[in-house]
Chains A and B, each alone.
Chain A
Amino acid sequence: MIEVQNLTKHYGPVTAIRDVSFSVAPGEIVGFLGPNGAGKSTTMRILACFMPASGGSAKVAGYDVFRESLEVRRRIGYLPESVPLYTDLRVAPYLEFVAEVKGVPRGDRKKRVGDAMERCRIADVQHRLIGKLSKGYRQRVGLAQAIVNDPAVLILDEPTIGLDPKQITEIRELIKSLAGDHTVILSTHILPEVSMVCSSVVIINKGVIVARGPIDTLVDQFFPTARVEVEIAGQAPPAVRDALRLIPGVVAVNDLPGSDGIGRYMVESSRGRDVRGEVFLLAAQKRWDLRELRRMGMTLEEVFLHVVAGEQAGPEETA
């Protein structure tokens, strides 16, 4: 549904994104993940035909965003990050305007606008001025204008930013309910959101894609082993390491930076095996002073920190 190839965008001397390539299958919800200023909005603006790329190509629903922009724009619903709305219009007339501009036939307009308001739960404010609405309501009006023409592709830039937890949950449910009929690409820097809503992710950092794929595959790819962090006081590290390595299933034991007299170890075992019990029994048997035993989360968050923060911290660590 979305095909992006070697997309590059310069703002003067600054390169916002470089050689970004990914594709999104029909009916999929893809999370576009990255720290602030990574190039998420730039990519989405290009996909929404708001501005042209400096290089590369992007196709949405089979149409080129640059050469067949009108065809693309007929098939997308776009919600920019700042949720720009006409503050001097009332909600219902605004959505009717959007429906009309997006080419919803006159007969369907009332119904589509009603449906969109229903889905986004803004029917109760339909006669209010948009400028007088709270941030949460505005966000939902923004979402309603994106879905009012029932587009094949939805491009949502930070759709849950500035909402309270209850609203966030509602919006996520709404987005999930759109999957299947709609292809959704949504950007965010809230990680749990991605694991909850999206089937796959594209992680972008400093304008370059650093990881992409289905969430589970990504986690496996970056963390092929399960990890347990162990802290043991008053023992010589080499002895502890050797003992730990003898536990069945353990693949590797590495030292972690610890303080005086306290050793910290990273015990890696094959995926799906929890060696915490065995570590505890071993420590009890050897009468080690076991201070901490913690399983490391192998979540998307770890992957993200690994590829984004790791990349930033990496050179300094080795230097």
Chain B
Amino acid sequence: MVPVSYYLVLSGILFACGVIGFLIKRNIITIFMSIELMLNGVNLAFVAFAAQWQHLSGQVFVFFVMVVAAAEAAVGLAIIIAVFRTRETLNVDQLNLLKL
């Protein structure tokens, strides 16, 4: 049996990759994907603990997270399309004004 710490380390690495990607990438789509990566890193930690303690609530949480992530993806992508239509760019450094 693989020890839970392995999963947690992997989860941490995934989350850190997400954070770093979020911080250093300029493209809004990549940033969006980094958010997904962070969410999945957290999901991994949830299921790892759920498996260790033989308890279902961790799994249930993961489903909730997935649902929220799906909804967020829908809304987020819609926003990104709307932004791209008005600004014609996806570079977040240029998206620093609330109004045009």
| A and B co-occur in one complex | no
Q: Which residues of A contact B (CB under 8 A)?
A: none
